[in-house]
A and B are shown apart, each in its own frame.
Chain A
Amino acid sequence: DIQLTQSPLSLSASVGDRVTITCRASQSVDKDLNWYQQKPGKAPEPLIYGASTLESGVPPRFSASGSGTDFTLTISSLQREDFAIYYCQQSYNHPRTFGQGTRLDIK
């Protein structure tokens, strides 16, 4: 199974900050890496797929990059509604696997 390791696992930031979350795969997943946002009590929602493509309706302050084993998710200017948990997920092969999640809190 492909293991995904996210860092940091928790992050405190302020509105307007720029934050970056990383996801490292235990083997190459090419560009088959996706990002999801989950808010309390809700199902996750897609943010990014194919390593760098924004899902429809996702604000452009979100961006992502990477290929192979190293990926990043960046939020350029945090808004209050961005405080949530972020997960990476690989769709390179089965079983599909997720990172542990990164909790983004308000400082």
Chain B
Amino acid sequence: QVQLVQSGVEVKKSGASVKVSCRASGYTFSSFAINWVRQAPGQGLEWLGSIRANNIRTNSALKFQGRVFLTTDSSTNTAYMELRNLRFDDTAMYYCVREALDYDFATGLNHWYFDVWGPGTLVTVSS
């Protein structure tokens, strides 16, 4: 079955970097983009960015540009999210998410949505 397995809990100091991995299985890795979404404790969902498996196209939220770096390794079907210069408010659960494309034959339109979510990686930033 389609599965995303993420790396374990991280505790980092302010100013450090963290790199979270997301290993995909059960589908053709190169056919889907991987997105990264985070959720601070008790808060809502925040999109960080996305990457196609061939590393050619990436998108990231403006607030994270220059701090978030997304890569993939097609030899191991793994996506990585590195967040640099960590701040206390980066403490959150980080999810990798597959983005699927559904073609609506009735309208001829494509619809993208987040169909498979990883279990999340808790990143805690402390002093």
A contact residues vs B (CB 8 Å cutoff): 1, 30-32, 34, 36, 43-46, 49-50, 53, 55, 87, 89, 91, 94-101
Among A36, A94, A95, contact of B114 (Cβ-Cβ < 8 Å) = A36
| CB-based contact A55/B120 at 8 Å | no
User: Which B residues have a C-beta under 8 Å from some C-beta of A?
Assistant: 35, 37, 44-47, 49-50, 59-62, 95, 99, 102, 104, 107, 109, 111-115, 117-120
11 A-B pairs in the complex with CB atoms less than 8 angstroms apart? A43-B119, A44-B117, A55-B115, A87-B44, A89-B113, A91-B111, A91-B113, A95-B59, A97-B47, A98-B37, A99-B44
In the assembly, what is the distance between CA of A1 and CA of B65, in Å?
A: 14
Neighbouring A residues of B61 by C-beta, 8 Å: 95
Chain B contacts for A55, CB-based, 8 A: 115
- Given A94-B59, A98-B45, also A43-B95 (CB < 8 A): yes
Taking A49-B102, A101-B45 as contacts, is the C-beta distance between A95 and B62 under 8 angstroms? yes
In the complex, A16 Cα to B72 Cα: how many Å? 46
- The answer to whether B111 and A87 have CB atoms under 8 Å apart is no
Known: A46-B115, A91-B99, A94-B59. 17 other contacts (CB 8 A): A31-B107, A32-B111, A34-B111, A36-B45, A43-B95, A44-B45, A45-B117, A49-B115, A50-B102, A50-B113, A53-B111, A87-B45, A95-B60, A96-B47, A98-B37, A98-B45, A99-B44
